[in-house]
Amino acid sequence: MKDLCLTVAALLIAAPALAETDPEKIAAICAEAEDRYVEIYGHPSSEEEGVAVALMYKYTFCPVTLDVPVGTTVRWVNVDKRTSHSTWFRDAGQPESERLFPEETAEQTFDVPGEYGYLCGPHWESRDMIGKVIVRP
């Protein structure tokens, strides 16, 4: 029995952590992500003109849900220091984006109202890294 307990404990320790679900912890992660953005680019992401910015940081999209008007271009920015991420609108039948390494970006313009769920190709299963863009008329 002791061996079984040790095996279960080892599996739990080795299992990857899933994305954070506590709103306060998500807010803290996203605040850190914004600090990294300012460190890299010298200004807040909200000051970008002509785009809505979604940050990729600590296996979280910040914000998790982005609400934008039709015609908006969303720019995803990887502000992690060592991890690559992607965007994949799998349910819409789109191919996964190229991997974004630290400080790299990808953009997509949304011309049709609706809800567009997306995920990070390498981290959606192991880390539950999932986001959504809500496009309103």
Q: CA-based angle 98:38:16, to the nearest 5? A: 50
Q: What domains can you pick out in the chain, each with its CATH number? A: 18-136 (2.60.40.420)
* The pLDDT of residue 21: 76
For residue 41, the one-letter residue type is Y
C-alpha to C-alpha distance for 45 and 130, rounded to whole angstroms: 20
SS3 57: strand
- Supply the mean pLDDT for the chain: 88
pLDDT in tens, 43-101: 999 999 999 999 999 999 999 999 999 999 999 999 999 999 999 999 999 999 999 99
Tokens 């863009």 belong to residue:
133
Q: State phi, psi for 14 to the nearest 5 degrees.
A: -80, -20
Tokens 């039709």 belong to residue:
70
Averaged pLDDT, 23-27:
94
102 CA to centre of own chain: 13
Q: Does 4 score more than 60 pLDDT? A: no
Q: CA-based angle 86:113:58, to the nearest 5? A: 25
